[in-house]
Chains A and B, each alone.
Chain A
Amino acid sequence: MSKKQKKMLLRIIIAAVVWVAGFVLEHVLDIDSAGRFSVPGFIHLGIFVAAYFIIGWDILWKAIRNIAHGQVFDENFLMTIASIGAMVIGEYDEGVAVMILYQVGELFQSVAVGKSRRSIAEMVDINPEYANVERDGEVSEVSPEDVAAGEIIVVRPGERVPLDGTVISGSSELNTAALTGESALRAVAGGDEVISGCINTNGLLRVKVSRPYSDSTVARILELVENSSENKAKTENFITRFARVYTPIVVFAAVALAIIPGLIVTAMNGFTDYSEWLGEGGWLYRALSFLVVSCPCALVISVPLSYFGGIGGASRHGIMIKGANYMEELAKARTFVFDKTGTLTKGSFAVTEIVPEGMSADELLGICAAAETYSTHPIAQSIIAEGKKHALTTTASDAEEIAGYGVRATVGGSVALVGNHRLMARENIAAPSVDTPGTVVHCAVDGKYAGYLVISDEIKPGVTAALAELKKHGARTVMLTGDRKAAAEAIARTAGIDEFHAELLPDGKVSQVEALYKAKPENSTLVFVGDGMNDAPALARADVGIAMGAMGSDAAIEAADIVLMNDNIESLPTAMRISKKTHSIVMQNIVFAIGVKVLIMLLTAFGITNMWVAVFGDVGVAVIAILNAMRTMRN
């Protein structure tokens, strides 16, 4: 609690004690109207007035001041009218109690809002506080903003990498949790790039800064999160508009209620008995209760707080959402369009099948890897990588590349031919025709067919599960790719994609998105998920553009509405779940707050409830709505 809040708490306690004293005097000690223990009326009036000023002087002051500034429908003013009005009618204890409860509620609100604001701020706190810069051989601690590109910084174990750069010396493992949401260690050594915001876990690193702080990953992410509240959700705008008309309507209703029914009733008895109009529980009193529920605070605070909490909660999972509006749209998504390469698949080639003939799989792989040693082709690289994975050490001498066909090499004294079907045909070696999707690499040793390897793009782990979860929400999944149909079909089948379009040119992707956009179910949205490379137009065309694996990729952060910082598609259902949960909490709060207020107004108009209930309708509802809104942070 802040100092201001503590002071308020003290005032509430004192006022409550004084109020209780007044209440006891009025209702308990003053039992007998005949005179025993009778307390003169002005004494408890005095006590209540004292309690009223202790608790409400600031409200009174604000009311007067704000009216001077032309703020008519001000909460303070309305509370003042309601409480003073109650006292004028003769409900002293109630007038004071209303003010005390109002202050209790306000205090609660400010504590709850302050608390959630802080915890959200902590959640997105990836800001490095300092950088150890090396200048003229001396290391000094400076603000990251003061370090220029090209300077050398030292990052000690346990410290946050303050700026993006390249490691010059030292090696360590970086924890990327703050950026990606998953606690993964990334090994770095000389020559590797490091990204600001990661935590250096063990070794000492010397890093050459590649760009100034304002362009660094951390600064851009912080900016993204901070600006997110500028993109307001439709619901938020609705609440703002609603709040603007709600208070005047309630106040006019109160004025009407104060005058019309009372006047009629009193006129009917010939202006002899004013008690039903101005007396206890009369029409004037009911009108005053209306004023108490006239503040739309519960909505005005809880709706933005829910979205803010949802965005904060999502960022903890490495999901950066650029605005509440995207969260709202994602909650309604029914069509998910995926780019294939780099999104559903790793975008790198790997050996997925080894089919030897007359030798073991390792032998075949060893020969192929050895033959390809000197080739830089991505397919060759994937074979070499697979060979290393199996710790094969077969070596080749004298390798010759036959462009468009493959390689001829001498491995262990034999002549190995490694290449495509045409190479086998050229050398008159009978090779089976393989129709597995992916690239097939045949191998022959000393003129004898030895088997083949299949190299294909690997599907990312977790894709199948993630898509299955999206489908549970009723989503239609579509994959777009420029790749061959066979390859696309295989990936689509494994991943569980509903529909795919292959062999598309880059602009074909956009027109496919257009077509799907037109075909999407009513009141739903279309999401495009890409890796941010070459799919900016599609990202922009979709209702929600989601970019994957944006660690350090500027283009993706710029183009997308939601950025999945980790390369993990499993974040997508998480993002959707958080969005849906946030949306439903917002809806709960709207229905609850408006419902309770309308109900209280109706009951009050018929004289069933009193001002106490009205105070609950104001501050009680607000506190409950805030507590409910805070649930969005926990996912």
Chain B
Amino acid sequence: MKKSFKLIDLDCAHCAAKMEEAIRKLPGVTNASVNFLQQKLTLEADDDKFDEALKAAVKCCRDVEPDCTIKI
């Protein structure tokens, strides 16, 4: 399953790259991309694990760039 989420207050390009890398490594996530310019996260994960993956991504976002939130 592939879904896009809006990112709020993502204001550092370097952090976006770090966030992308960290989210990609999460269990269940098959691919992820953080688009700094469109302020968008595209998350691809296995269907049955999508909710968990999303939850982990939210936590990951909080760790890497606490100012930024994922709008769900």
- A120 and B17 CA atoms in complex are apart in Å by 21
B36 near A301: Cβ-Cβ < 8 Å: yes
B1 contacts A by Cβ under 8 Å: no
- Which residue of B is nearest A229, CB measured? B35
A110 contacts B by Cβ under 8 Å: yes
Residues of A within 8 A of B14 (CB): 75, 243, 295-297, 300
Interface size class of A (residues with CB under 8 A): 20 to 34
Contact partner, B38, options A66, A69, A110, A229, Cβ 8 Å: A229
Q: Mark A231-252, 1 if CB is under 8 A from B, else 0.
A: 0000000001001100000000
- Which residue of A is nearest B39, CB measured? A117
- A304 and B39 CA atoms in complex are apart in Å by 13
A145 contacts B by Cβ under 8 Å: no
A32 contacts B by Cβ under 8 Å: no
Q: Tell me the smallest distance from the CB of A459 to a CB of chain B, in Å.
A: 40
Number of interface residues of B (CB under 8 A): 20
B51 contacts A by Cβ under 8 Å: no
Residues of B within 8 A of A305 (CB): 37
B64 contacts A by Cβ under 8 Å: yes
Q: Tell me the smallest distance from the CB of B9 to a CB of chain A, in Å.
A: 8
Q: Mark B1-33, 1 if CB is under 8 A from A, else 0.
A: 000000001011110011001000000000001
A226 near B38: Cβ-Cβ < 8 Å: yes
Q: Tell me the smallest distance from the CB of A259 to a CB of chain B, in Å.
A: 27
The binding surface of chain B is classed by DSSP as mixed
- A295 and B17 CA atoms in complex are apart in Å by 13
A297 near B37: Cβ-Cβ < 8 Å: no
B47 contacts A by Cβ under 8 Å: no
- A121 and B13 CA atoms in complex are apart in Å by 18
- Which residue of B is nearest A70, CB measured? B63
Residues of A within 8 A of B67 (CB): 62
- Which residue of A is nearest B42, CB measured? A230
Q: Tell me the smallest distance from the CB of B22 to a CB of chain A, in Å.
A: 10
Within 8 A of B (CB), among A75-123: 75, 110, 113, 117, 120-121
Q: Tell me the smallest distance from the CB of A121 to a CB of chain B, in Å.
A: 8
A71 contacts B by Cβ under 8 Å: yes
- A588 and B18 CA atoms in complex are apart in Å by 25
Residues of B within 8 A of A62 (CB): 66-67
Q: Mark A295-311, 1 if CB is under 8 A from B, else 0.
A: 11100110011001000
Known: A70-B63, A226-B38. 17 other contacts (CB 8 A): A62-B66, A65-B66, A69-B64, A71-B18, A75-B14, A226-B40, A229-B38, A230-B33, A230-B35, A230-B42, A243-B17, A244-B21, A297-B14, A300-B17, A304-B13, A304-B36, A305-B37
9 nearest A-B residue pairs (beta carbon): A301-B13, A69-B63, A300-B13, A308-B37, A300-B14, A229-B35, A110-B11, A117-B37, A297-B14
Binding site for B on A (CB under 8 A): 4, 62, 65-66, 69-71, 75, 110, 113, 117, 120-121, 226, 229-230, 240, 243-244, 295-297, 300-301, 304-305, 308
Q: Can you identify 5 A-B contacts, CB atoms within 8 angstroms?
A: A69-B64, A70-B63, A113-B13, A117-B38, A308-B37
